[in-house]
Amino acid sequence: MPPQAPLDMPPQDLRYKPSRRARHPSGVVVLYARFILVAVTVGVTTYGVYQMLQVVRFASMTALQGMMIFFFAVSLGWIAFAAGSVLAGASKRRDPQPDANSPASLTALVMPIYNEDPLRTTAALQAMAEALGQIGAHRCFEIVILSDSTNADAWIRESLRVDRLRCALLNIMPVWYRRRWQNIARKSGNLEDFVTRWGGRYDHMIVLDADSLIDASTLRRLVQLMQTDPDLGILQTAPQLIGATTFFGRLQQFAACVYGPVITRGLSAWSGDSGNYWGHNAIIRMQAFAENCGLPKLEGRKPFGGFVLSHDFVEAALMRRRGWKVRMATDCGGSWEESPPSLIDVAVRDRRWAQGNLQHMKIIGTAGLSFASRMHLGVGIMSYLSSPLWLLMLGIGFALAIQSHLIRPEYFNHDFQLFPSWPRFDVELMMALFWFSMGVLLIPKMLGLIRALLSRRIRRGGGGVIGIGASFVLEVVLSALYAPVLMLIQCRHVFEIFMGRDSGWKPQRRDSGGTTWSDAWHYHKRHMLLSCVTAVIVWFLSPPLLAWLSPALLGLFLAVPLSRASGSVSLGNFLSRIALLRTPDEAQTPALVARRQELVSRAADLPDDGLRHLARDRESRLTHIHGNLARPADRRGQPDPHAFTAEQKLKDAGSLDEALRWLTPIERVEVAGDARLLNQLALLPDAAHPSFLI
């Protein structure tokens, strides 16, 4: 790492409203977009609830019917909000143009990693650095890799790959690497450690995920936009999905290509200067971030207490709280990320996201937040609470069906009543309300489809009008089948969180390893069982009701084969060959993406057993030792017991194989971080290589 240039990053007090910088009021365009959002949300919800009240007699409404209407209102309001947000995007103006003659600055390309594949991460960074060199902008950037890896072999592979990356970019830009010994506060703590120790060296940082790619012209444009507007604190790009090969990955990639732009444009329109930050593919003003985005440790036990998980939403809100602008750049393009390859991988990632977003329930009341920032936090919370609400609504409807089947209606509920009170349920009006709700739900998709058909680039890359139209129908049908499965998965996540279970910190799988039948059965067998039991019960109660529930029950019944198919590369390739679910970036691969793929394919394989490789190869051992910061000293009187046990095992071992077999995962990390222990490991005899040089 370079010489330290510390910045103070104090934890923010969420209970008190701080003083803020001069803040400009929202413009007319932003206010108009918010008016559209509110008008559509309130109007659609009010109309739907009014029509629902006409379905049943309001004066004789039962408690179950009242609960049904309540949850219907919340669910309809949620999808109306999504439709209103997309419609508000029609009022958005184009992003401002930057000043091309802005003064020079230094920006860090920061990539936090956690037990990732270093071949892909370093290939992406090398491709971006080379692209910056081709346009002459490389002198304004430096690469900073921030490792939180806890696996010794992953750490060793990182060290070796970073050394090769540094050699490859020797004449282009510096490459810095730091691995933390203590993973405090996960990704937010990783970034905070970098800012507080080296943040003063940089004017800005562009935060990348392990699967991020940003084109050189976009990187330069982001820096110029920050320099043009000194009040801009965070500028978030709208990354597109790329590189999907599996069936489910291609489904997400097509949806992001067609629907994503209209969704992000609407979000940007009503957010204005109070936009959001998604944790990656964004540029941040370093000094402002350090002053305003120190995250406190929340009171209480996990999962709601402790360190903030979904730090990005909170950092954007805290930045805006002090008067800095947080905006979204929707017109620049050239920003990409990758999607999880299968349904199970989405569920694993979603568990962590669910806990992080529900944790915002303790943050949304923070003093001094703007209304739009609270809206962003609320949308994140509601995106996970909506699944249990929908499930409750279905459950109440199921209970109403049982009630109507088992309980005989009371026709004369008053003494001396001359005429009976007939049960009332307007089927035709209920049908009309159902199709109205479906229409509102499909507004974002329909607007995205219209935009895609009007775009020459998307038409050419997506198989023409017929290809896009067929892909759209396929995506809608498959999304309807996957939706009930995802609903139950999110319901389980929410239940576990409210029961106090922490998500932990699992690395995300980014390759296309596929999903086996056994994995799919183990994960989804309860979904299939639930659908079968529900179908049998509903069949005996009301066969017409079973017809209405069949779309949701069909998705649950097919959960295992759908999950198995989601990770299939062969099915994804077949759809690509017949021009289904294709995107322009797939038809004509961007140069930056192609360069990353080339670097990955040409890279030499890295050792699976990192410690064994270091023990055999003296040059690699020296590279690893000199490529890492020294291990921090133990506190006085508090020695690390794992280092002592690792050293004793190395003394007792009679061979390299015996030592490696004895060492625990934590002890392997201690050996990998200590030059003395590594050299001691290298002195042990190796039966497989009795004459190698140490």
Instruction: Tell me the per-residue pLDDT of 64-82, one tens digit each, with 9 for 90 and over.
Output: 878 888 888 999 999 999 9
Among 54-63, 174-183, 322-331, the range scoring the smallest mean pLDDT is 54-63
Among 156-160, 506-510, 575-579, the range scoring the smallest mean pLDDT is 506-510
The answer, yes or no, to whether the previous bond of 112 is cis (omega within 30 of 0) is no
Half-sphere exposure of 422 (CA within 13 A, CB side): 4
Domain boundaries, the chain: 103-339, 610-630+639-682
**pLDDT score recorded for residue 404:** 67
| 463-474 mean pLDDT | 92
Instruction: Tell me the per-residue pLDDT of 371-399, one tens digit each, with 9 for 90 and over.
Output: 999 999 999 999 999 999 988 888 887 77
**pLDDT score recorded for residue 549:** 78
Q: What is the DSSP string of 249-280?
A: HHHHHHHHHHTHHHHHHHHHHHHTTB----SS
**pLDDT score recorded for residue 414:** 54
**pLDDT score recorded for residue 408:** 58
**pLDDT score recorded for residue 147:** 95
Among 93-97, 126-130, 365-369, 540-544, the range scoring the smallest mean pLDDT is 540-544
Q: Check residues 433 and 525 and name the one with the higher pLDDT.
A: 525
Strands 325-329 and 232-237: parallel
3-state secondary structure 147-178: ECCCCHHHHHHHHHHHHHHHHHCCCCCCEEEE
Tokens of 261: 């732009």
**pLDDT score recorded for residue 640:** 84
Angle at 664 between CA 658 and CA 666, to 5 degrees: 140
Instruction: Tell me the per-residue pLDDT of 630-646, one tens digit each, with 9 for 90 and over.
Output: 888 888 888 889 888 99
**pLDDT score recorded for residue 510:** 66
When pLDDT is cut at 50, 70 and 90, the band that residue 162 belongs to is: very high
Task: In whole angstroms, give the CA distance from residue 576 to residue 578.
Answer: 5
Using the predicted structure, report yes or no on whether residue 255 has a pLDDT greater than 70: yes
Fold of 103-339: Spore Coat Polysaccharide Biosynthesis Protein SpsA; Chain A (3.90.550)
Q: Which residue shows structure tokens 């109070």?
A: 274
Task: In whole angstroms, give the CA distance from residue 485 to residue 527.
Answer: 7
Instruction: Tell me the per-residue pLDDT of 233-252, one tens digit each, with 9 for 90 and over.
Output: 999 999 999 988 899 999 99
pTM: 0.89
